[in-house]
Amino acid sequence: MPSPRYWREIPSRYRLEASRCCGCGKVAFPARKVCPACGAQDWKQIQLSRQGRVVTSTVVHVPPDDFLMEAPYAMAVVETPEGARLMIQVVDCEPAEVLPGTEVDLEFRLIRREGHGGILCYGYKGVPAG
Amino acid sequence: MREVAIVGAGMTQFGEIWQSSLRDLFVEAATEAMRRASADQLDSMYVGNMSGGQFVGQEHLGPLMADHLGMAGIPAARVESACASGGVALRLAFLEVASGMSDVVLAAGVEKMNDGADVTSVLATAADQETEAYHGITFPGLYAMIARAHMEAYGTTEEDLAAVSVKNHRHGAMNPKAQFRREVTLEEVMNSSLVSAPLRLLHCSPVSDGAAAVLLCPLERAKEFTDRPVKVVGSGFATASMALADRNEPAFLDSVSLSAGRAYKMAGVKPSDIDVIEVHDCFSIAEICCLEALCLVERGKGGEAARSGFSALGGEVPVNTSGGLKSKGHPVGATGVAQAIEIYEQLRGDAGDRQVQDADVGLCQNMGGSGASSVVHIFQRV
Amino acid sequence: MAGIVGYGAFIPRNRIKTEEIARQWGKDPQTIRRGLLLEEKSVPGIDEDTITISVAAAQAALERAGIDPARIGAVYIGSESHPYAVKPSGTILVDALGIGPEVHVADFEFACKAGTEAMFVAFGLVEAGRVEYALGIGADTSQGAPNDALEFSASAGGAAYIFGRKNVLAEVVDTYSYTSDTPDFWRREGEFYPRHGGRFTGEPAYFKHVLAASQAILDKTGLKPADFRYAVFHMPNGKFPLSAGKTLGFSKEQLETGWVVNTMGNTYSGSSPTGLAAILDVAEPGDLILITSFGSGAGSDSFVLKATEELPRRRPRAPTVRSMLDGRRRYLTYGEYSKYREKIIVNQ
């Protein structure tokens, strides 16, 4: 990932910054300019809690080249208590055990690296709660 | 708007076509479509293509393909909506003819996927780069999550998923252009290797090279090109949230539902009027969800359709008689046009062993991404 | 009095057993276990490094401190495995935690002493009144060459300490540092694994500095070993810290709480700081604690700490070291371990 793009996305990747629509209360993650639910453009910035529940999941056995060393790995759509949904990896467990309803904590991890000499890209992954 | 007809079709073999380049594939399909319609001139052309830039390093396909077709000078543009690129190219060609702007327009689709690119990564660019691809999700992964959500919500089983592949391979075995002309058993599907749980290798469409092209003209001129034109009676197009995580119900494809509703309305037909259907079965679960969104089965009942024979040749509504993306192959940009060709041949009575008797109205549905875009066309025998 | 207002640790959940490593190289596991007193060690996941460990430990420290991260005026991460050779680890951490931009940040390196070095400077700035709060972290994903004795110990983890003047959990009674040039262990720029002087790392290096610093801080504070409830010394293996403690006059009971090396391994810059966190997890108000680090090259930092009434109140806000050592773990084969530690050459 080119470093300018990575840098621009730091607020959501490092701090889970999201926004709550002042019109209808919808939470957008990452923050948006226009509410996809009601069209309003006034937002309040919020920070997501570092926990959530799996909505749906899979175990990726055939990964993109950048994730070759991690396969097989679990990926899940995780809903935080604020109602935001994140597409993240769930690690530090048997991938097949990550199923809808699984409670997870979010931990700061290295997500990808840009080749041997490129930048390191961080963000959040899930781990089974507790 | 003028009435529009398809009057010619051409399609390459789908598969690993090592000897043909991106342009070779296009020219083969396009010249066949024109030759069959005895057309020697085009007013305009649309080329559906997902990612020439990433698969073979080639963008700017409009002029390139027009040039190689011997048509330099005509208006020509590449159209992109991920795996729905071909269907959208068809829609734009249809609109251009319907509007009266042009008379003879080629809608083509082409993809060269087997040329050394990291296909999984290229396809993943059709997902949201910031929130999905960044974290390592793949397209099989996205559809696997849809499958798991469908299983959670409706009790759909791995057998249901596998039955879709078995049916489509049975159909594809009869299609000389198909990438896999062989049947598979339920056991083979269920024992194939995991790609992204719960989806296995034989739930997934293959990596394919291929091209497809159809020639459109005003219905009033159709007889100049063929004795058996097929009328385009409905075209519906829709989008939905790009990221799967942003959809309230991951197991329901909103864009398919919206695009189908628009096409049904324009055509003035009901789901029960449709005789033959091609849907975007990039993964077996996609066919299940698409049948529900097209209102051919009740929501949650898509899993039964293949298993019960409802959607097989000889069943109530034959689905993917071509073999679908699963067996026929899925050169992503070409798929939407290839689907239209199957319906064109079915409505003309040219489908050979795969022929659906007395097919009068046909539908094809072509989808981009994990369902962020969908285009539906409805055709009728003239 | 200035002291620790928040602390936290993090230990990756992957483990490899001493036996598994010994078997790989045809060594007798019982000899190693008895000789080094090591049962297993933590291993970083493919997605864990000094930065992720530091962030997790600092998040726990912030939970216990209960302060606005923006009030932290200095952040120092000590490690010998900073993921970038050039580009700070600390900048990623401050942006992840919502610290700054009005903050002084630096990455420290002093072999295994870099963690207490970070704590030493953080404390000094708070005591001097230059900043309201300061964060010092020791964390490592330690390197050890395959088939080197270090491979049995080099592990991953870290601990973070926030220093301040209000609501102190443990007062810093005094500090002491002892340093000399001693080439017992090193890693040159561009080298993947450290090298060491074998038995030279013992008497003239570890023991000389640990004993000198510890004895000096006892003399400086006028305290005797018997006055302490707990003591922790840098843990390159199981034996050295017990031997150093015994020489100084500490009992097994005083040493065992912070002696986490037998199942954690040597987390290099995170070693004695994580031992201290394990002590703070159980210490009672009024308890005196001695911590002495050691970094090859060489030097030792000593701190005398005194637990306050605030400690038991804030402790439950984050997980304990013991819960991470004994909690959910995943045991790796040597093959998996080699993959995780990027010891296998693959095509990029």
pLDDT at C348 over 80: no
The answer, for B208 touching chain A at a CB cutoff of 8 Å, is no
Instruction: Give A125→chain B minimum CA distance, Å.
Output: 9
> Confidence band (pLDDT; 50, 70, 90) for C224?
very high
Q: Which of B150, B203, B330, B377 is catalytic?
A: B330
C-alpha closest to that of B179 among B147, B214, B143, B204: B204
**Residue-wise burial string across C76-115, b where 16 or more C-beta atoms lie within 10 A, e elsewhere:** bbbbbbbbeeeebbbbbbbbbbbbbeebbbebbbbbbbbb
Instruction: Give A75→chain C minimum CA distance, Å.
Output: 14
Compute how many other C-beta atoms are within 10 angstroms of the C-beta atom of residue B368: 27
Subunits with 3+ C-beta pairs closer than 8 A to A: B, C
The answer, for C34 touching chain A at a CB cutoff of 8 Å, is no
- Are C81 and C103 a contacting pair, CB within 8 Å? no
- A contact test, residue of B119, B123, B132, B138 with most A CBs within 10 A: B138
Predicted local confidence at residue A115, as pLDDT = 79
**Phi-psi sector, B269: left (phi>0), alpha (psi -120 to 50), beta:** beta
For A53-68, write each residue's pLDDT tens digit.
999 999 999 999 899 9
Predicted local confidence at residue C345, as pLDDT = 87
Compute how many other C-beta atoms are within 10 angstroms of the C-beta atom of residue A30: 16
Question: Average pLDDT, whole number, for chain B?
Answer: 97
Question: Average pLDDT, whole number, for chain C?
Answer: 97
Summarize the confidence of residues B103-120 as an average pLDDT.
96
Summarize the confidence of residues C99-120 as an average pLDDT.
97
The reply to whether B171 belongs to the active site is no
Record: contact A107-C52, CB cut-off 8 A: yes
Separation CA A35–CA B277 (nearest Å): 36
Separation CA A98–CA C212 (nearest Å): 52
Residue with tokens 């109530």: B316
Catalytic residues of C: 80, 112, 234
Predicted local confidence at residue A1, as pLDDT = 76
Q: Are strands C330-331 and C14-17 parallel, antiparallel or unpaired?
A: parallel
Summarize the confidence of residues B339-347 as an average pLDDT.
98
| Phi, then psi, of B228 in degrees rounded to 5 | -130, 70
Chain B nearest-CA residue for A70: B136
* pLDDT < 70 regions, chain A: none
The answer, for B194 touching chain A at a CB cutoff of 8 Å, is yes
Q: Which residues on B lie below 8 Å from A72 (Cβ)?
A: 194
The H or E element that residue A122 is part of is strand A120-128
For C176-192, write each residue's pLDDT tens digit.
999 999 999 999 988 98
| Phi, then psi, of B109 in degrees rounded to 5 | -145, 145
Chains A and B are in contact, defined as 3 or more C-beta pairs closer than 8 angstroms: yes
Summarize the confidence of residues B273-293 as an average pLDDT.
98
Summarize the confidence of residues B138-151 as an average pLDDT.
97
For C45-104, write each residue's pLDDT tens digit.
999 999 999 999 999 999 999 999 999 999 999 999 999 999 999 999 999 999 999 999
Record: contact C328-A92, CB cut-off 8 A: yes
Residue with tokens 């045991």: C331
Predicted local confidence at residue B96, as pLDDT = 98
Predicted local confidence at residue B155, as pLDDT = 97
Record: contact A64-B134, CB cut-off 8 A: no
The H or E element that residue B10 is part of is strand B4-11
Residue in A89, A107, A110 closest to C56 by CB: A107
Helix (H, G, I), strand (E, B) or coil at C229: coil
The H or E element that residue C34 is part of is helix C29-36
Q: Render B103-157 in DSSP notation, one character per residue.
A: SSEEEEEEEE--SSS-HHHHHHTTS-TTTTGGGT--HHHHHHHHHHHHHHHH---
Predicted local confidence at residue C180, as pLDDT = 97
Q: Are strands C72-78 and C133-141 parallel, antiparallel or unpaired?
A: parallel
Subunits with 3+ C-beta pairs closer than 8 A to B: A
Q: Which residues on C lie below 8 Å from A127 (Cβ)?
A: 13
Separation CA C157–CA C142 (nearest Å): 9
- Are C94 and A108 a contacting pair, CB within 8 Å? no
The H or E element that residue B292 is part of is helix B284-293
C-alpha closest to that of C243 among C253, C257, C255: C255
> Confidence band (pLDDT; 50, 70, 90) for C1?
confident
Instruction: Give A108→chain C minimum CA distance, Å.
Output: 6
Summarize the confidence of residues C318-346 as an average pLDDT.
94
Q: Which residues on A lie below 8 Å from C49 (Cβ)?
A: 110, 120
pLDDT at C251 over 80: yes
Predicted local confidence at residue C265, as pLDDT = 98
Report CA C33 to chain centroid distance, whole Å.
22
pLDDT at C290 over 80: yes
Residue in C47, C96, C346 closest to A110 by CB: C47
- Are B27 and B95 a contacting pair, CB within 8 Å? no
Subunits with 3+ C-beta pairs closer than 8 A to C: A
Separation CA C230–CA C222 (nearest Å): 17
Residues 307-336 of C with CB under 8 A from A: 328, 330
Residue with tokens 């709550």: A20
Residue in A14, A120, A125 closest to C96 by CB: A14
Q: Which residues on A lie below 8 Å from B151 (Cβ)?
A: none
Percent of chain C with pLDDT over 90: 97
C-alpha closest to that of B195 among A68, A62, A96, A70: A62
Q: Which residues on B lie below 8 Å from A36 (Cβ)?
A: 241, 246
Strand partners, A125: A107
Question: ω before B198 within 30° of 0 (cis)?
Answer: yes
Separation CA B264–CA C169 (nearest Å): 70
Record: contact A110-C339, CB cut-off 8 A: no
Residue in A57, A61, A89 closest to B195 by CB: A61
Record: contact A110-C328, CB cut-off 8 A: no
Record: contact B136-A111, CB cut-off 8 A: yes
Q: Which residues on A lie below 8 Å from C55 (Cβ)?
A: 108
Record: contact A91-C96, CB cut-off 8 A: no
Predicted local confidence at residue A130, as pLDDT = 81
Q: Which residues on A lie below 8 Å from B131 (Cβ)?
A: 29-30, 86-87
Q: Render C234-293 in DSSP notation, one character per residue.
A: --SSSHHHHHHHHHHT--HHHHHTT--HHHH-B-GGGHHHHHHHHHHTT--TT-EEEEE-
Chain A nearest-CA residue for B249: A55
Residue in A50, A89, A110 closest to C52 by CB: A110
Percent of chain C with pLDDT over 70: 100
Q: Which residues on A lie below 8 Å from B194 (Cβ)?
A: 59, 61, 72
DSSP state of B310: T
- A contact test, residue of C47, C54, C341 with most A CBs within 10 A: C47
Q: Which residues on A lie below 8 Å from C51 (Cβ)?
A: 108, 110, 120, 122
CA A92, B190, B208: angle at the middle one, nearest 5?
90
**Residue-wise burial string across B243-263, b where 16 or more C-beta atoms lie within 10 A, e elsewhere:** bbbbbeebbbbbbbbbbbbbb
